[in-house]
Chains A and B, each alone.
With several copies, the nearest count.
Chain A
Amino acid sequence: MATIARTLDDALEPIADGCVLAVPRESSGVPMAATRALIRRDVRRLHLVALPTSTLQADLLIGAGCIETLETSAVSLGEFGPAPRFTAAILAGAIRMLDATCPALHAQFQAAEKGVPFMPLRGLLGSDVLAHRPDWKVSDNPFATNDPVVLLPALKPDVALLHAPLADRAGNVFVGIQREFFTMAHAAQKTIVTVEKIHDGDLLHDPLLAAGTLPGFYVEAIAVAPRGAWPLPLPDHYGIDAAHMAEYARLAATPEGFVQYLDRYVHEKWAA
């Protein structure tokens, strides 16, 4: 049963060096306060799986040296340009990159969610995405003739790390239409959630809230982190901090600037 952790660091304790950590896309609620806490803790050798893409979060973790393997479909800062630390790390060969395509990652999480060893997917054939993924296989569709189809292995992360608007004291988490949070929590061994605030009452008892609520038995730990997605947006709650993103893009363009950014926004001002 999920517990409300005393501190953010307590909640993040299961994220060990070297673990497979799943995180969501920018528009769903990215746990940025938790990400900064992990950098302060100096987590190492993460295998980060961003479902299906990432922006600031992956770039920050890469720049801070926390990532060994990155598995995702794209990393950029969107309107704010390329992701500078991601780009630099790839060009320097500093991280291992597993290039995916969005629906393949979704299918791999769904395979883990269903407890099946693999999931088929259309597309992919003839692409270099497939050519560079020896862990993906091409098979014949047994329900047709001469119909090759790609089979993707189940992806079962050690930990899924999410940011959501609300949790109640029973560990239920309101995620709204961010349904991939369900699949991520179902697929992961453990799920850790930061939330804007604690909801009094039981989220499962209200039929409206229940429809967007992840039940507590999937959740390992919860920490309260107001504006925990900042500077990224939390849908229906706050938008992206465009000025901050522009500042990040400017600073992170150089290794020195990136260190300044860490000093200013991760290590000092925002320390617990």
Chain B
Amino acid sequence: MAATSPAMTDRDFRDEELLADVICRLIGDVRHVAVGAASPIPATAALLARQRGCGRPYVSLLGSRAHTFFTDGARELFDCAGQGRIDVFFLSGGQIDGEGNINLVGVGNYDHPKARFPGSFGSAYLYYVVPKVILFRLEHSRRTLVPKVDFISAPGGSADNVFRPGGPVALITSRCLFDFDRDRRRFRLASVHPGHSVAEVVENTGFDFDRPPEVPTTPAPSVETLRLMREVVAPQLAEVYPQFVKNVFGIAATSG
């Protein structure tokens, strides 16, 4: 079914597949992963994790009818997270800064912005209560990864007296993977994707971050992982992300 070449090697993968594989490892062994709107790569990763885990974790894709375990309306995701039942969620940002603050609202002054993003969605809540929030931003530039966000949709850390069981654990971009140290509120370069360099990451990152003396290369997805993604996961994604599945996996969307 998947539009792959017959002779697959370890290098025959697309960036999206590498990122989904990385995110799948970050998800780990958990009970329930929820994926918000407009997040096709995290959705791929979550369904891959469920495929590998033989049905564990539960995966709820916002906007999906087939991949949802919610029957109590639009608020259930948030209630469920408030109950501590959502282990992993994904957030992005028009801007993300070195303290893990994310901006989904706009650039410049709030009342007279220079650019406007869609809005904060559920971030101003989920970032606080979901234990493992994985930040995801493909565009890795000084425009997106900034010293200080112009608007805090949700902060990377909170004062000690703020109820905050959740927060960021990592940031993945098209160039690299950062871990987040919650105590120090700082990112640390964890690995650089194949074909990219530490120097390039430094040059394109607007905030300071820690890095070990030796930065590993992000491991490529295995042949079996690629097969699972293309043959099993991709068709499941088509319901919510028809364009993405068509562009990345070459699968035509079925009509809704």
Find out whether A and B make contact in their complex, taking CB atoms under 8 A apart as touching. yes
Residues of chain A touching chain B, judged by Cβ–Cβ distance below 8 Å, are 1, 24-28, 51-53, 72-76, 78-79, 82-83, 86-87, 90-91, 93, 99-104, 106, 110, 112-116, 121-130, 132, 146-149, 177-183, 186-187, 204, 210-218, 233, 235-236, 238-240, 242
Stretch from B65-73, B183-191, B196-204, B213-221 forming part of the interface with A = B65-73
In the complex, which residues of chain A have a beta carbon less than 8 angstroms from the beta carbon of B113? 90-91
A127–B38 touching, CB < 8 Å: no
- CA–CA, A210 to B73, complex, Å? 11
Q: Which residues of A contact B69 (CB under 8 A)?
A: 204, 215-217
Residue among B111, B127, B163 facing the most chain A CB atoms (10 A cut-off): B163
Give CA–CA (A93, B158) in the complex, Å: 32
Interchain nearest-CB distance for A207 vs B (Å): 8
Query: From residue A26, how far is it (CB to closest CB) to chain B in Å?
Result: 7
Stretch at the interface among B117-125, B134-142, B228-236: B117-125
CA–CA, A72 to B124, complex, Å? 13
Our pick among A78, A103, A127, A179 for the contact of B78 (Cβ within 8 Å) is A103
Residue of B nearest to A117 (CB): B163
Chain B residues with Cβ under 8 A from A102's Cβ? Answer: 74, 78, 121-122, 125
Q: Does B170 contact A (CB under 8 A)?
A: no
A115–B74 touching, CB < 8 Å: no
Known: A126-B158, A186-B83. 10 other contacts (CB 8 A): A91-B113, A93-B111, A103-B75, A113-B82, A123-B125, A123-B129, A124-B125, A125-B128, A180-B74, A217-B58
Contact B105 A99 (CB under 8 A): yes
Residues of A within 8 A of B62 (CB): 27
7 contacts between A and B (CB under 8 A): A24-B74, A82-B117, A90-B113, A90-B116, A101-B124, A115-B81, A125-B159
Nearest A residue to B124, CB-CB? A101
A90 to B159, CA, bound (A): 32
Q: Does B56 contact A (CB under 8 A)?
A: yes
What DSSP secondary structure best describes chain A's contact surface?
mixed
| A73 and B122 within 8 A (CB) | yes
| Cβ A127 vs Cβ B79 within 8 A | no
- Of the listed residues B72, B110, B117, the one surrounded by the most CB atoms of chain A closer than 10 A to its CB is B72
- B89 at the A interface (CB under 8 A): no
Chain B positions 35 through 63: 1 when the CB is less than 8 Å from some CB of chain A, otherwise 0: 00110000000000000000110100011
Q: B243 at the A/B interface (Cβ < 8 Å)?
A: yes
Q: Check A122/B119 contact, CB under 8 A, given A186-B83, A217-B69, A240-B256.
A: no
A93 pairs with B112, CB closer than 8 A: yes
Binds A, one of B7-15, B18-26, B146-154, B174-182: B146-154
Do B127 and A123 touch across chains, with their CB atoms under 8 A apart?
Answer: yes
| Shortest beta-carbon distance from B92 to chain A in Å | 12
B123 surroundings in chain A (CB, below 8 A):
101
Q: Which of A51, A101, A113, A240 has the most CB of B within 10 A?
A: A101
Cβ of B251 under 8 Å from chain A: no
- Chain B residues with CB under 8 Å of A130's CB are 124
Residue among B56, B58, B120, B255 facing the most chain A CB atoms (10 A cut-off): B120
Chain A residue at minimal CB-CB distance from B127: A123
Q: Closest residue to B56 on the A side, CB-wise? A: A1
Complex Cα spacing A147 to B163, Å: 7
CA–CA, A146 and B160, complex, Å: 10
Q: Given the complex of chains A and B, what is the CA–CA distance between A72 and B153 in angstroms?
A: 13
Q: Are B73 and A177 in contact (CB under 8 A)?
A: yes
Once bound together, how far apart are the Cα atoms of A86 and B69, in whole Å?
A: 32
A110 to chain B, nearest CB (A): 8
Residue of B nearest to A90 (CB): B116
A76: chain B residues within 8 A (beta carbon): 37-38, 118-119
Question: Quick one: closest A residue to B76, CB to CB?
Answer: A179
* Residues in A neighbouring B128, C-beta threshold 8 A: 122-125
Minimum CB–CB distance from A154 to chain B (whole Å) comes to: 10
